[in-house]
Chain A
Amino acid sequence: MFNWRKGFAGLLAVVMTAALLAACGGNKGNDAQASGSPPPSASASGPEKSEPPKGDPITLRIELFDRNNTPAGAPPITDNFMTQYIQKNFGDPNNIKVEFVTVPRSQEIDKLNVLMAANQAPDLVFTYDTPTVRKYVKDGGLTDLGPLLEQYGQNLKKVLGDEVLEYGVFEGKQYAIPARRVLLPQTTTIIRGDWLEELGLPVPTTTEQFYNALKAFKEKKPGNAGDKIIPYGYIDYFHTRPLVYSFWEWDKISDEDLFANPEWLMPGNKEGFRFLNKLYNEGLIDPDFPLTMNKDTTQFQKDLINGRIGAATTNTNEPVYQGYLAEVQKANPNAKLIPIDPFSDSRGKHPKPVYTPNGIYLLVPKASKNAEAVIKYLDWMALPENIIALQNGIEGETYEMVNGVPQTLDNDKAKQTLYNYTDYLMILNGKFVSLTDEKLNIAANASDPNFKDFTVASIEAGSNDGVTKPTVTAAIESEIKYATTLKEKDDEIFVKVVTAKPSDFDKVYDKEVQDYMKIGGQAVMDEKRAAYRAEKGQ
């Protein structure tokens, strides 16, 4: 009689072995491929070619962010105007089949890690996250793109520029190609122009005028917000930088200080926060700001549309591209939001942080055999006609040229074609038309033709007297290690210091900053100073 017990035991053993082999097989495959990196395939012909190379087409896999926001009637993101244009104008002439691999935007780092670990990553991937890039470099997972860039990427180099490319150099090699950020301003302050008119106040160009305007808003309550008025909204660490920067004693700050010091220690920072503390205690700031800080801005938008907000420092042009400026106008046609540049320092300048010119990092995994094709692809993308096409679509149908600047048309075809152009044209962050004329570039980025003036003013105000901190190429280990702890402490100190009673302000500020230095701030500062001196000499 068949012995069931033994039979089952045997069956179990077989199943388990099979399963084990299945699981382990993966890692072995991993090891085999990651260790010896295949050199980029040298194509049969040289870089200058006019006919398509012979032979089987290479499949080039490119990552594509999927935001799941395809408008009704639009074709799928893997087969639309953009993909067809790329295939026709790059793929076909080079005997390359371009394939887009979709990755959901929201978990892109996790998905990227998983694809890299499984050796399934596309030939071209991207991420904004610097620590992830550093980790890939350290683990030996990226292709050095320097030599290929020299050979096949001259157009790309011209468009990006040396400064941008520097940000992609890790451990001495060009492991990443950063996209070029076209627009550098971070934040711009806006104010209710109609309220200023109503109260007979000038458009603020100094901090004092701005303060007076806030006080007047609170006392005279223009508009119909009544007691619910919030003179100055959108309060958090990032968006109060221009205000605080205007209190710094810039004459006392060297480049090394600017790089190495935590902002809490900069001369004048305390006074900036004393000013914020004053605003809070005089009721000029929303007392509930800690609850909505760094979370979504729906409440702020609602308050703005309801006419409760007098002024705010938002992301540059945010009211336009987030769509709420239109809502403000709809709710109240008399409301006038104007971009201003009020925070002035002792030198009469308006210093404010701006972005460094690098955008997303473009990476080629070491396991990819098509690094050369990737560079050729990016180089092709950098040609002016391709930039215009991929950013604006088809002339006459989705855009028209106005004074040398493409203007997006306000029709369905434009919406369906261009809603995610940024995910295809990865080498640029922002619309780009000219290597030389910045004004043209700014005009090109006035995304909504109805608010062109607002956009241009917003960008100009946000760029004025912009400051970027110096960088070094070496990795600051302690900065990476303490990054989150210190960022959290930043927010914590921000809230504590701004909401403190005026008599306690100095005590609270000093104690909190002391804590900050103790939990890692000191270590980071010391390492940064040392690195700066090592690299730039002293």
Chain B
Amino acid sequence: MKSIRQNWQLYLLLLFPFVYFVLFKYIPMLGVVVAFKDYNIFKGVMASPWIGLEAFREVFAMDGFYNALRNTFVLNLLDLVIGFPIPIVLAILLNELRIRWFKKSVQTILYLPHFISWVIIGGMAVQLLATHSGVVNQILTSFGLKAIPFLSEPIYWIFSYLGIGIWQSAGWGTIIYLAALTGINKDLYEAAEVDGASRLRKMWHITLPGIKPTIVILLIINIGHMASIGFDRPYVLSNPQVIDVSEVISTYVYKIGIQSARYTIATAIGLFQAVVGLVFLLSAELFSRKINDQGIW
């Protein structure tokens, strides 16, 4: 059949990537078996003694683990609900700008925070948001308002965490949506203009649907990563007063790292996160297929 003869080209294209995945991803992946072994780095993965699910039992018995897991989900969910839409909105607004030099320079400026290391961001955050000596609160109190405990009380801290995260990543996040926006057929806009559609209607009926495939796939992948969380942002912003809400899995694993069963425990937790994440992703995919007929597959 014609299609098979054409398909050999496709398989040839897939060859190198396939080798790449097998070699650099799946071969080392065998090391995940460390989660089931009392890993002795001198004996190697294969020769280390088997302990089965003991590491998992130990992890699930740790007090701090559930707290860290809960916090991970809460912060990720908030990031998703509040933070995910922002680059989309921003990209659409940027798209509306008509003054070209402004539009171009602003795009670059908005993503600058993405390039600042978290260590520095942490220091700046304290300088700005400290309850008594922070710049923001000093301005507030000079106007007679009450100081806000941005970083020292749990609920406020969560909002600061979200806000700083948005500040750091929203600009960078617009880039992919801006790329998607270029693919929308301009004729559609002209037709809508003729029909007398307002700007808002155009955004809702043309722009958003135009970038929907991008949004869907980013959303699905983000949902898939609900059980994992970056290390830097929570670590750098946390302090003992908010540890109840700021301890997440990544910081928790980092702290317990200095323990005799370090690799085994860390790998066990990582495996747990991976399985949970995969389940989330597949669920999101199925859900999206049902609603949109769109998804990864």
Interchain CA distance A296-B124 in the complex, whole Å:
12
A15:B19 contact, CB within 8 angstroms: yes
A78: interface (CB < 8 Å) = no
B41:A141 contact, CB within 8 angstroms: yes
Of the 9-residue stretches A334-342, A345-353, A476-484, which lies at the interface with chain B? A476-484
A519:B42 contact, CB within 8 angstroms: no
Interchain CA distance A31-B254 in the complex, whole Å:
29
Query: Closest chain A residue to B62 by CB distance?
Result: A485
Query: Closest chain A residue to B47 by CB distance?
Result: A31
A27:B46 contact, CB within 8 angstroms: yes
Chain B residues, CB < 8 A from A511: none
A291:B152 contact, CB within 8 angstroms: yes
Chain B residues, CB < 8 A from A135: 260, 262
Chain A residues, CB < 8 A from B41: 113, 116-117, 139, 141
Q: Give the contacting residue for B126; candidates A24, A139, A292; CB below 8 A.
A: A292
Of the 9-residue stretches B100-108, B195-203, B236-244, which lies at the interface with chain A? B236-244
Chain B residues, CB < 8 A from A291: 126, 130-131, 151-152, 239
Q: How large is the interface on A (under 10, 10 to 19, 20 to 34, 35 or more residues)?
A: 35 or more
Chain A residues, CB < 8 A from B134: 288
B51: interface (CB < 8 Å) = no
A536: interface (CB < 8 Å) = no
Query: Closest chain A residue to B125 by CB distance?
Result: A291
B15: interface (CB < 8 Å) = yes
B259:A293 contact, CB within 8 angstroms: no
Interchain CA distance A493-B241 in the complex, whole Å:
9
B255:A30 contact, CB within 8 angstroms: no
Interchain CA distance A492-B240 in the complex, whole Å:
5
B22:A19 contact, CB within 8 angstroms: yes
Chain B residues, CB < 8 A from A132: 258
Query: Closest chain B residue to A140 by CB distance?
Result: B42
B144: interface (CB < 8 Å) = no
A54: interface (CB < 8 Å) = no
CB of A24, distance to nearest CB on chain B (Å): 8
Query: Closest chain B residue to A113 by CB distance?
Result: B41
Of the 9-residue stretches A4-12, A316-324, A381-389, which lies at the interface with chain B? A4-12
Of the 9-residue stretches B23-31, B82-90, B269-277, which lies at the interface with chain A? B23-31
CB of A117, distance to nearest CB on chain B (Å): 4
A492:B43 contact, CB within 8 angstroms: no
A506: interface (CB < 8 Å) = no
B258:A129 contact, CB within 8 angstroms: yes
Query: Closest chain A residue to B45 by CB distance?
Result: A27
Query: Closest chain A residue to B150 by CB distance?
Result: A291
A290: interface (CB < 8 Å) = yes
Interface membership of chain B positions 255-297, coded 1 if the CB is closer than 8 angstroms to chain A and 0 otherwise? 1101110100000000000000000000000000000000000
A59: interface (CB < 8 Å) = no
Residues B121-140 near A (CB distance < 8 A)? 122-123, 126-127, 130-134
Q: Is the interface of B mostly helix, strand, loop or mixed?
A: helix
User: Given A288-B134, A492-B240, do A139 and B259 touch, yes or no (CB 8 Å)?
Assistant: no
Residues A117-144 near B (CB distance < 8 A)? 117, 129, 131-132, 134-135, 138-141
Query: Closest chain A residue to B129 by CB distance?
Result: A291
Residues A1-45 near B (CB distance < 8 A)? 4-5, 8, 11-12, 15-16, 19-20, 22-24, 26-28, 30-31, 34-35
Interface membership of chain A positions 193-233, coded 1 if the CB is closer than 8 angstroms to chain B and 0 otherwise? 00000000000000000000000000000000000100000
Q: Give the contacting residue for A8; candidates B11, B40, B151; CB below 8 A.
A: B11
CB of A509, distance to nearest CB on chain B (Å): 15
Interchain CA distance A26-B132 in the complex, whole Å:
56
B240:A141 contact, CB within 8 angstroms: no
B209: interface (CB < 8 Å) = no
CB of B27, distance to nearest CB on chain A (Å): 4
A488: interface (CB < 8 Å) = yes
CB of B135, distance to nearest CB on chain A (Å): 12
Interchain CA distance A135-B260 in the complex, whole Å:
6
Interchain CA distance A228-B43 in the complex, whole Å:
59
Interchain CA distance A22-B258 in the complex, whole Å:
31
Chain A residues, CB < 8 A from B40: 139-140
Interchain CA distance A318-B4 in the complex, whole Å:
74
A75: interface (CB < 8 Å) = no
A295: interface (CB < 8 Å) = yes
Interchain CA distance A172-B133 in the complex, whole Å:
53
Chain A residues, CB < 8 A from B43: 30-31, 34-35, 139
Interchain CA distance A134-B258 in the complex, whole Å:
11
User: Given A8-B11, A134-B260, A485-B64, do A366 and B130 touch, yes or no (CB 8 Å)?
Assistant: no
Q: Give the contacting residue for A494; candidates B18, B122, B240, B258; CB below 8 A.
A: B240
Chain B residues, CB < 8 A from A366: 42
Chain B residues, CB < 8 A from A299: 126-127
B255:A484 contact, CB within 8 angstroms: yes
Query: Closest chain B residue to A12 by CB distance?
Result: B18
CB of A487, distance to nearest CB on chain B (Å): 8
Residues B1-60 near A (CB distance < 8 A)? 8, 11-12, 15, 18-19, 22-23, 27-28, 30, 40-47
B187: interface (CB < 8 Å) = no
A103: interface (CB < 8 Å) = no
CB of B198, distance to nearest CB on chain A (Å): 47
Interchain CA distance A298-B123 in the complex, whole Å:
9
B27:A295 contact, CB within 8 angstroms: no
A286:B260 contact, CB within 8 angstroms: no
A287: interface (CB < 8 Å) = yes
Q: Give the contacting residue for A16; candidates B22, B122, B131, B132; CB below 8 A.
A: B22
Chain A residues, CB < 8 A from B45: 27
Chain B interface (Cβ within 8 Å of chain A)?
A: 8, 11-12, 15, 18-19, 22-23, 27-28, 30, 40-47, 63-64, 122-123, 126-127, 130-134, 151-152, 239-241, 243, 255-256, 258-260, 262
Chain A interface (Cβ within 8 Å of chain B)?
A: 4-5, 8, 11-12, 15-16, 19-20, 22-24, 26-28, 30-31, 34-35, 113, 116-117, 129, 131-132, 134-135, 138-141, 228, 286-288, 290-293, 295-296, 298-299, 366-367, 480-481, 483-485, 488, 491-492, 494-495, 519
Q: A139-B43, A367-B42, A481-B260 are in contact. List 7 more A-B contacts (CB 8 A).
A: A8-B11, A12-B19, A27-B44, A34-B44, A116-B42, A228-B133, A484-B256
What are 18 A-B contacts defined by CB distance under 8 Å? A8-B12, A16-B22, A22-B27, A24-B46, A27-B45, A31-B43, A35-B43, A139-B40, A140-B40, A287-B132, A288-B130, A288-B152, A291-B151, A296-B123, A299-B126, A485-B63, A491-B243, A495-B241
Query: 8 nearest interchain CB pairs?
Result: A27-B44, A117-B41, A30-B44, A34-B42, A141-B42, A139-B40, A491-B240, A23-B27
